[in-house]
Amino acid sequence: MRPQPDFIHEFVRGKSERTLLLLHGTGGNERDLIPLGRELDSTASLLSPRGKVLENGMPRFFRRLAEGVFDLEDLRKRTNELADFVSSSAKHYEIDNQNIVAVGYSNGANISASMLLLRPEILSAAVLFRAMVPLTPERQPDLSSKSVFISAGAFDPIVPGSETKALEDLLRSAGADVTVRFLQGGHELTPEDVDLARQWLTNLK
């Protein structure tokens, strides 16, 4: 039987106990981030779902009303559905559910942050490329055992620096160990993002 609830996804079994949960940006799919996952950690398993929401034919992980304006009801629902998928996939593929690290880009980074805030038991850590504050949770989660790496673009037209700072503050106030790097770039992912994230993951216990 397939994991329930199911998503179209790729799973690549690795040699180590860690699994990277790869979450693509708007218009991406389950195959996009597989090479990135391999570059970041050559021995981890990779679990890469495709977002179920379509915006003009482009897959996303939750609905938005405008750029940077999120449909919060949909975001909550989709976050829980994705968290349930990850949890059932861990059983299905027999991977360690205490060693799942989200790696999200843009829309995928936003739903990763939402999962940390609403379903913190799912992830042990997260790498967030170009993330925003997805929502403010009603109850503050306990993130004291979580590590988060945020990689931001100093000239990102979609994610202003104030937004990165607000996300950092929100995660820190919940107890997370947060590392933030600002790169001299925009919203797109660069080789420097990949290098920094790889180093950070290597040093993660």
Indicate the residue whose CB is closest to ligand MLT. Answer: 107
> Length of the chain in residues, anyone?
205
Nearer residue to ligand MLT within complex by CB, 40 or 128 = 128
Q: What is the spatial distance between Cα 45 and Cα 150, in angstroms, rounded to a whole number?
A: 22
Report in angstroms how near the CB of residue 153 gets to ligand MLT at its nearest: 12
Q: Does 158 bind ligand MLT (CB under 6 A)?
A: yes
- Residues 51-80 close enough to bind ligand MLT by CB under 6 A: 64, 67-68
Nearer residue to ligand MLT within complex by CB, 44 or 109 = 109
- Residues 84-123 close enough to bind ligand MLT by CB under 6 A: 106-107, 110
Note if 187 is an active site residue: yes
Q: Provide the 3-class DSSP secondary structure of residue 27.
A: coil
Report in angstroms how near the CB of residue 115 gets to ligand MLT at its nearest: 13
Note if 24 is an active site residue: no
Binding mask 2-41 for ligand MLT (x = CB under 6 A): -----------------------xx---------------
**78 and 46 in contact (C-beta within 8 Å)?**
no
157 burial type by CB count under 10 A (0-12 exposed, 13-18 middle, 19+ buried): exposed
**42 and 84 in contact (C-beta within 8 Å)?**
no
By DSSP bridging, strand 9-12 and strand 45-49 are antiparallel
Element (H, E) at 85: helix 72-92
The DSSP output letter for 144 is: T
Report in angstroms how near the CB of residue 26 gets to ligand MLT at its nearest: 4
The one catalytic residue among 32, 41, 156, 193: 156
Q: What is the spatial distance between Cα 121 and Cα 116, in angstroms, rounded to a whole number?
A: 8
Element (H, E) at 200: helix 191-203
Note if 96 is an active site residue: no
Q: How many residues lie near ligand MLT (CB under 6 A)? A: 9
Residues acting as catalytic residues = 106, 156, 187
Binding site for ligand MLT (CB under 6 A): 25-26, 64, 67-68, 106-107, 110, 158
